[in-house]
Amino acid sequence: MRVLVMFDMPTHTKEDRKNSAKFRKELIKGGFIMLQFSVYVRICKGVASANSHLDRLDLILPEKGNIRALILTEKQFDHMRLLLGKRSKIEEINKPRQLVLF
């Protein structure tokens, strides 16, 4: 499973920029990686783990801004299409590998 977090934060004032940077740092500290600017993703073991990470996000929400989150299966995430440009180095490094359990 993956948790995809998308957000728009105001950056008009110094305090807004500070709050936005703090939110990003907390996402990274929580194991999220940047997929593109203001879009972060984290791999989770299952739905319970994904919901747990979303509950932790509730604790660090800034007062201003819009934050959306999706829980995606690996299959859904793999069907994401990149419509412009090419994969970045970070996307190539973080490509999911097939895991086989016996």
- Positions at the binding site for Mg(2+): 8
**CA 12 → CA 15, 16, 20, 45, 63, distances in Å?**
8, 6, 11, 38, 14
Cβ(64)–Cβ(9) below 8 Å: yes
Binding residues: 8
Q: Hey, which residues does 2 pair with through a beta bridge?
A: 43, 72
Cβ(69)–Cβ(8) below 8 Å: no
